[in-house]
Amino acid sequence: MRSRTAAIGVDIGGTKIAAATVDRRGKIVLSRTIPTPLQSSEVAIDAITRLIETVKTASSGRVEPVGIGIAAAGTVDWARGAIVQSPNLPFSDIKLRAIIEKSCGLPTVLDNDANLATFGEKHYGTARDANHIVGLTLGTGIGSGIICDGRLYRGATGSAAELGHMVISASGPRCTCGSYGCFEEMASGRALVRFARARLVLDGGGLIGEMAGGDPARVTGPMVTEAARQGDVAANEVFAEVGFWLGIGINNIINIFNPEIVVIDGGMAEVGELVLAPARAVVAERTLSPNKYVAKIVRGQLGNQAGMLGAAALVFETFDAG
């Protein structure tokens, strides 16, 4: 009996590496996860190669992989197949695509993890019926991907979609990139904690202050979330502030790109309407018509599998369109 066609999708994160064989419908046939080794690029590459071979061997006879797709955090040169730099990984201008192709014997594609998370939602998730999509991955920072006419938009040098570094508050705090008031400094998990700590200093922070023992340095994102879910006024107001700035950024995105859908993924998406409701309110008030009536702002469906599934989808598009 002939094995069905599949792709191997890999997601390289700062704490773990996940790999899976994925069929054309986006069904995960088999998956494995390992901790990310951070000692050196050589150690990390060896671990990635071994993981891919493990998944490939374990899937033998069930599916036939046509290629490997890799989603990687950081700046990725898609054309060269290189990870230029990554904030949490031991890679600096590593031509990972060629290394994996040689080691594993399958054609390989490599792209940024936020790009591929958006691509995954387009093919297998909440945006599958749309062709004009912006994806936002809200975590410690903000990653993003743009799809125009059904295809990933990468820009002139492959580094488009750095929407997290769009300045939305000229007098805002300094960003890790060196600029001030970037989107991710105002609407990410990092922003949530900063706003909550400021609230604690200002007036005690309600339940947040109690949970943190009155110490701003002990405030965490999960702590703020739990306080908000218990109905704490201060915590809900902190989320409203983050949601306001998220809405300001999405307003700009909708007016520039005119998407059908803005998909929200990442850890911050898990809080749902705590942050999405105030964001939608800003868009309803400030975004140009008819753009604001076209664009839906929704949570993604794929969770932490979005990048891996998007990597598999890119394999099918690139190597096996049939």
In this prediction, residue 322 has a pLDDT band, given cuts at 50, 70 and 90, of: low
Convert 87-97 to b/e letters by CB count within 10 Å (16 or more is b). eebbbeebebb
Tens of pLDDT, residue by residue over 244-289, are 999 999 999 999 999 999 999 998 898 999 999 999 999 999 999 8
* Domain at 4-122+304-319, CATH class: alpha beta
Reported pTM? 0.92
Fold type of domain 128-300: Nucleotidyltransferase; domain 5 (3.30.420)
**Residue 176, both tokens:** 């890790």
In this prediction, residue 216 has a pLDDT band, given cuts at 50, 70 and 90, of: very high
Indicate if 128-300 has the same CATH topology as 4-122+304-319: yes
Q: Where are the domains of the chain?
A: 4-122+304-319, 128-300
Tens of pLDDT, residue by residue over 51-83, are 999 999 998 888 889 999 999 988 899 999 999
For residues 203 and 89, give the distance between their C-alpha atoms in angstroms, rounded to a whole number.
39
